[in-house]
Structure 1
Amino acid sequence: MIVRPRPHWLKLLFVRRGSILNRIFPQLLFTTGLAAVVVLAHGQLFHWKVTLTSAPFSLMGVALAIFLGFRNNASYDRYWEARKLWGRLLVEARTVSRQALTMTRRRTDARPFVLGVIAFAHALRNQLRGQSSAQGLDGLLPTTLLARIGQARFPCALILLWLAEWLRERRDAGELDVVLQQRMDVHVSGLSEVLGGCERIAGTPLPFTYSVILHRTVYLYCMMLPFGLVDAIGMMTPVVVLFVSYTFFALEALSDEIEEPFGLAPNDLALDAMAAGIEASLREMLGEKPLPAPVATDYILT
């Protein structure tokens, strides 16, 4: 996730770090160079004059803009839903941890349960990013459970099972009232709903056809545009092509990044920082000193 103070409007025009310009720079260089060649050749291709005007590009541009808008809206819906799910994860984690610390008998050690909730957040991040299941879980779970998680396909489900078993054991030991145990299990179920929502987003990408059609159309449009402008604006053709290409290529690249919000691209969600935030919040509830907050590198927070 890109995190940086909003610069002055003039500086914002020339910002490169924390933008998507580096990703689309080769495409911009190619289309602008092509436009310059078309101007030098006076719109001829192998001694054949390409008779195009700006009229078809106006019609195609409107249709392409609508399609790009639809693609970006669909991608941002996925991004924002993923962010809301992680926001709910924070709320559910704080609530069930507070209940474990205050609703059990005084002699009950609720610290393992709270550490298990922290482990769930880290395990969810690992699962969504395809990382090692046990990464960041050292000291948070019992050794036997860690061994099972290292070989599991769905480690988060095992952690939820362990949390529910902990509640049952406290109930059977008379350390937790039956009604309170049921109320706490509601929030454990809330964690399960967060898991299911994240798995749905990660496992159901936008139809591949959308990406193929949009990608082909954008490139063909930007490559044919110089032939439609050269007779009308002459030497200004590369400048206009650069501006139009930047708009279309940037929108396509941005929608492609946020379509998968759990990845490591600059515009994806900062799952490392959010998991660390959850851990810091719960450790403070335990009376412990939280770990330092993650620091952005080159304006990118992972």
Structure 2
Amino acid sequence: MVKYDPKDWITFIFRFHKADTFRQLFPMMIFIGLYSAGICYLEVEYWQLSQESHVKNISIMHGMLGFVISLLLAYRTNTAYDRWWEGRKLWGSLVNNSRNLAIKLSAMLKDENDKKFLRFLIPTYASILSKHLSNEEVGQLLFEEVDLKINLQKHKPNQVAQILFQKINDLHQSGKISGEQLIILNAELQSFTDVCGACERIKNTPIPYSYSAFIKKFIFFYVMTLPFGYVFNLGYYVIPVVVFIFYVLASLELIAEEIEDPFGNDDNDLPTGKIAENIKRHVEEIL
């Protein structure tokens, strides 16, 4: 995730970060510019269309459709940001629940070996969940004397949650924690799987294909028809104007595409790996 100062306007305006949409759209912007120049040359120099030509009235269509495309893009970006923010709230709840579980266990347990096992097991869930959501490989984890056998062919976060619950259940059966304490711990234990399921719902349910494809086609054909009408008023200045309009509209769609899946490795995705490291540090401090 990109770290920045939101008050530094100069940096925003004059620096092009690798996550900036300008880099991604530059080849298409060149094509749009050449296309606009070709249309402008044909209408002004070759066909020599007059101001009374009906082609000039195409701009009326753009005025009507501009409102529609603004609504579509506003809904698209809001929906994508809602998914990004929901993912951040889920990982925030995972941080809090990991801390709460560690705090409760630190007060209930007296055996240092049990604390040592849980000190590594609790943050392991966040670490493996981060790799699971970003489709990274997870190998066999060995933390000092704590050996966790993870079957790479099965659901990895579920296996860690199962080991964690089995350890808590063993502590109950051995009399190290009471039945009332087991009930108190159940909320945090259950929340781990709840967070995992909610994150998987976001990741595995993208925006419907028809909706996304329609917006792209709408932007493309809207921009490609702009030179026909506005060349009468702008002349060859229509070239930078059309390129700029395409940049604005296409950038909104690209931004929405990037943030709608917040668990990848893009610059604007959630720093789940960093959050997992923070959980590990906090749990080790508590236990």
Structural RMSD (CA): 2.3
Q: Is residue 99 of structure 1 aligned with residue 104 of structure 2?
A: yes
Q: Give, in whole Å, the separation in 2 of the partners of 1:87 and 1:228.
A: 51
Q: Give, in whole Å, the separation in 1 of the partners of 2:119 and 2:218.
A: 51
Counterpart for residue 14 of structure 2: 14
Q: Give, in whole Å, the separation in 2 of the partners of 1:252 and 1:44.
A: 35
Q: Is residue 110 of structure 1 aligned with residue 115 of structure 2?
A: yes
Shift of 1:19: 2.2
Q: 1:140 to 1:167 in 2, by over 3 A?
A: farther
Q: Report 1:42-53 matches (<5 A).
A: 42=43, 51-52=55-56, 53=58
Q: Give, in whole Å, the separation in 2 of the partners of 1:140 and 1:93.
A: 21
Moved more, 44-53 or 84-93: 44-53
Which is richer in helix? Answer: 2
Amino acid of the structure 1 residue aligned with 2:116: R
Q: Is residue 236 of structure 1 aligned with residue 237 of structure 2?
A: yes
Shift of 1:207: 0.6
Counterpart for residue 83 of structure 2: 78
Q: Is residue 199 of structure 1 aligned with residue 200 of structure 2?
A: yes
Q: 1:141 to 1:74 in 2, by over 3 A?
A: farther
Structure 1 unmatched runs, 5+: 287-302
Structure 1 runs of 4+ with >6 Å offset: 44-50
Amino acid of the structure 1 residue aligned with 2:119: V
Structure 2 unmatched runs, 5+: none
Q: Is the 8 A contact 1:133 1:149 kept in 2?
A: no
Counterpart for residue 125 of structure 2: 120
Q: 1:97 to 1:11 in 2, by over 3 A?
A: closer
Q: Is residue 27 of structure 1 aligned with residue 32 of structure 2?
A: no
Number of residue pairs aligned between Structure 1 and Structure 2? 282
Q: TM-score, normalised by structure 2?
A: 0.90
Report the 3-state secondary structure (helix = DSSP H, G, I; strand = E; otherwise coil) of the residue aligned with 2:143.
coil
Q: Is residue 151 of structure 1 aligned with residue 156 of structure 2?
A: no
Equivalent residue in structure 2 for 1:59, among 58, 64, 78: 64
Q: Give, in whole Å, the separation in 2 of the partners of 1:140 and 1:116.
A: 12
Amino acid of the structure 2 residue aligned with 1:88: S
Q: Which has the higher contact order (CA 8 A, sep 6+)?
A: 2
Report the 3-state secondary structure (helix = DSSP H, G, I; strand = E; otherwise coil) of the residue aligned with 2:151.
helix
Q: Is the 8 A contact 1:2 1:267 kept in 2?
A: yes
Q: Is the 8 A contact 1:76 1:255 kept in 2?
A: yes
